[in-house]
Structure 1
């Protein structure tokens, strides 16, 4: 792995373009575009820091204005990499630029309602602006120059989604103290198609299935209830695993095929529901006792000091069964926001692996293995045949805790590779001078590596262990606090508080 030089950034505003050819960076009130080939600057704009004409109505008095109020707070690429925007939430303005025309510029004034967040719509020609106090979402079209207003979103940072084809925009709203859902047609200037009430009393969030057929809606943290609805507003089922009062749901993740949905709450349990019966097919529960057959990787002690933060070092392999009690942190359930439950739950691109992090063991990554979607024909909603019996159900017989990754420091972020061909690759960071890599790549008996394929026996496939490595960042002062994959999965973006660098694979030529 080869690392680039270290560059300046502010507020962690760094993003690859969708085609991975450029990197967009914000440094205070300046927007910078670099080429990923040479990392030379190809475009730069100094963002106009003057506030919206009507913004002073809600802005702080001039005597309290700080220079940082003019700094960029949000950036983004359009889907075709033709446009970029820079938003300054405290000034209530969004500036849009065209990559191929440095002189072209568009400016959006949020007005008296203020600005909390800006984001591109999937068409790459509409900018969504969320106002303060949950007043409305405004869709600004760069094509027509007009705006469409949608009132009373419940949340500015969640509770909205676009269907995978971008045709419909779904927004959780609150009207007359009741949770509702609005469905809008993006091809007809966000015209309202359907508006229906939700069964929730205090909506936490919702998640749209990958195929766009179902909505999973769940209550706030005080009630463990999940509702499955269609886009027409029909309630299909209500899932409540425990009839007694308990803390609510923390994470929900649809399987990439849309055939299953994983639900994790404060109770350290993960329920997997299928979309045929909407009932649990398997339930995992956190345990400090790791059974036999689980591959356990342990970060070597003080390896950064020994290697001076340079090069690669493999994790240490620990035999199971094993106890990880000493990795747990104490949690007081009588206090608000107890440190327990599922804080991250992500499927890889192919749906064969599920990454789970529990808050009471912040330095541990659990990886569960699942059968491929091709081996589950009866679980497809398009095939309504009866599910197999528990003894022959491949989802039950092949699903297990496969790998445990133990780190010495709490994990800040862990992310799957977005490339489907490398779906089994994982990267994590802990705020140290290192990144941590794991891959389910099969290691052959002769020491070589390769994918499991033709000629691989069932016993060898079951003994698939993967690879885990610690990679030091070759810099004197750089702590990796956040990390992102490039869209093609061949590079990494490493972020410190005010700096960033990139890491790319080294391709050997023979």
Structure 2
């Protein structure tokens, strides 16, 4: 693998275009559009204020930037650099802006979730969606891009509105059997939706587009419930992460739980591989001087396989009732693109990543790191997981094993987030004000695509 030189960014932002041709990089109020292969600057746009949001249109012809403090969103054309569109929400405020699937409409959410506004870039018309509920992910497009589901709150009850994205007409509106909906997600075939309760109650409900409740599942009562939910890419499985440190896997035929994955602090099983990160400290150089100059105190880090059993994993102790949002429970669920693996993180073990084999319904590997995980993401083309922990190293796992790589010539780059290229041929390593790109060898990609063991 090869690395690009370290380049500037701001706010830890970077976005690949869906087509894979471009890379959008902000530098304060300036937006640079770079070639994704060479990272050469193709065009530069000057925005009104510092860029807080970057989002490409689905057809990659436009890129959107926003500044929430100024309540302004701007749209830029890649084909016509002189074309520009500005959306000003004014006194209504702006807290979110997203593209519609047709790449010709944008949706803005007003402050306090007073309304959602649909802006047309073609006809310059405006329409409104009222009473949206103030929850993350309360606005979701279906995978086939034909429908928009909006969670609403009226008369102290939860409702769901389904709109058709071509005309923005209401298709279905029905009441939900929830007390306080916390989120919703479409299945990958766009046939059903899953909604779930706030953490105060464990309840998962599956709805059809007609409003029929197909399933109503609750694992337990009188304790904190659901923390995360994820559909598998095939739509066959629904993973439910909860505060009891378990992941429950539900199948799409009977809507019943087929397996439970427990995140225990003591591992006795010899069927899984445990990798531990081992750091080699900086030697031959005064540590105090290295700290003053901003150099890392760790020169090299590697994975070592732990063969002894049982193995105890470091865990954060949480006292019940002392925290409103306790750092416990499965907060991260990520399926690999081939549906074979599920990567999870139990929040009271922030430095540990668990990888489960879906065909075998068993634990495949555990990665134990020296520092908490900042971000992790699967390659969209291969079963390859990339991780970062806030230092200048990037970590990779695949069915073939583990690897740690230091970004050459970038001792001060602290990688806080990752962005895979749509082709899987490269991954952007992003810090607060710097970034680099890791390019993979084509022969290695071919080898991994030919053989992908379970």
On whether the aligned pair clears a TM of 0.5, the verdict is: yes
Q: Could you tell me which runs of 5 or more consecutive residues in structure 1 were left unpaired when the two chains were aligned.
A: 50-69, 372-397, 441-465
- 8 Å CA contact 2:99–2:106 kept in 1: the answer is yes
Pick from 229, 239, 242: which aligns with 1:262? Answer: 239
Partner of 2:166: 187
Q: Mapping of 1:198-217 within 5 angstroms?
A: 198-217=176-195
State whether structure 2 residue 152 is matched by structure 1 residue 173.
yes
Query: Measured at CA, do residues 44 and 171 of structure 1 come closer, stay the same or move farther in structure 2, by a change above 3 Å?
Result: same
CA distance in 2 between counterparts of 1:331 and 1:101 reads 55
Query: Measured at CA, do residues 159 and 100 of structure 1 come closer, stay the same or move farther in structure 2, by a change above 3 Å?
Result: same
CA distance in 2 between counterparts of 1:172 and 1:484 reads 29
Partner of 1:43: 43
CA distance in 2 between counterparts of 1:108 and 1:354 reads 40
State whether structure 2 residue 430 is matched by structure 1 residue 471.
no
1:36, distance to aligned residue in structure 2 (A): 2.2
Query: Measured at CA, do residues 119 and 500 of structure 1 come closer, stay the same or move farther in structure 2, by a change above 3 Å?
Result: same
CA distance in 2 between counterparts of 1:304 and 1:268 reads 37
Pick from 224, 231, 246: which aligns with 1:247? Answer: 224
1:318, distance to aligned residue in structure 2 (A): 1.3
Q: Mapping of 1:193-342 within 5 angstroms?
A: 193-242=171-220, 244-290=221-267, 291-302=269-280, 315-325=303-313, 327-335=314-322, 336-342=324-330
- 8 Å CA contact 1:311–1:471 kept in 2: the answer is no
1:502, distance to aligned residue in structure 2 (A): 1.2
Structure index of larger Rg: 1
Partner of 2:364: 402
Q: Deviations over 1:141-199 (max 9, x none)?
A: 112211221012113641121111111111111122221111001111x1111111111
CA distance in 2 between counterparts of 1:288 and 1:347 reads 23
Partner of 2:288: none
What's the TM-score once normalised by structure 2's chain length? 0.90
Q: Which structure dedicates a bigger proportion of its chain to helix?
A: 1
- 8 Å CA contact 1:313–1:469 kept in 2: the answer is no
1:430, distance to aligned residue in structure 2 (A): 0.3
1:302, distance to aligned residue in structure 2 (A): 2.2
Partner of 1:501: 436
Partner of 1:445: none
Q: Could you tell me which runs of 5 or more consecutive residues in structure 2 were left unpaired when the two chains were aligned.
A: 285-294, 445-454
SS state of the match for residue 112, structure 2? helix
Partner of 1:65: none
State whether structure 2 residue 111 is matched by structure 1 residue 132.
yes
Q: Deviations over 1:27-74 (max 9, x none)?
A: 221111111233221111111x3xxxxxxxxxxxxxxxxxxxx32221
State whether structure 2 residue 378 is matched by structure 1 residue 416.
yes
State whether structure 2 residue 345 is matched by structure 1 residue 345.
no
SS state of the match for residue 91, structure 2? helix
CA distance in 1 between counterparts of 2:303 and 2:342 reads 21
State whether structure 2 residue 35 is matched by structure 1 residue 21.
no
Structure 1 residue runs of 4+, over 3 Å off?
Answer: 303-306, 308-314, 506-509
Partner of 1:485: 420
Q: Which structure dedicates a bigger proportion of its chain to strand?
A: 2
Query: Measured at CA, do residues 366 and 303 of structure 1 come closer, stay the same or move farther in structure 2, by a change above 3 Å?
Result: farther
What's the TM-score once normalised by structure 1's chain length? 0.81
CA distance in 1 between counterparts of 2:391 and 2:356 reads 26
Query: Measured at CA, do residues 132 and 303 of structure 1 come closer, stay the same or move farther in structure 2, by a change above 3 Å?
Result: same
- 8 Å CA contact 1:293–1:320 kept in 2: the answer is no
Q: CA RMSD in A?
A: 2.1
Q: Mapping of 1:380-459 within 5 angstroms?
A: 398-419=360-381, 422=382, 424-440=383-399
The number of residues matched between the two structures is 431
SS state of the match for residue 133, structure 1? helix
1:305, distance to aligned residue in structure 2 (A): 6.7
1:304, distance to aligned residue in structure 2 (A): 7.3
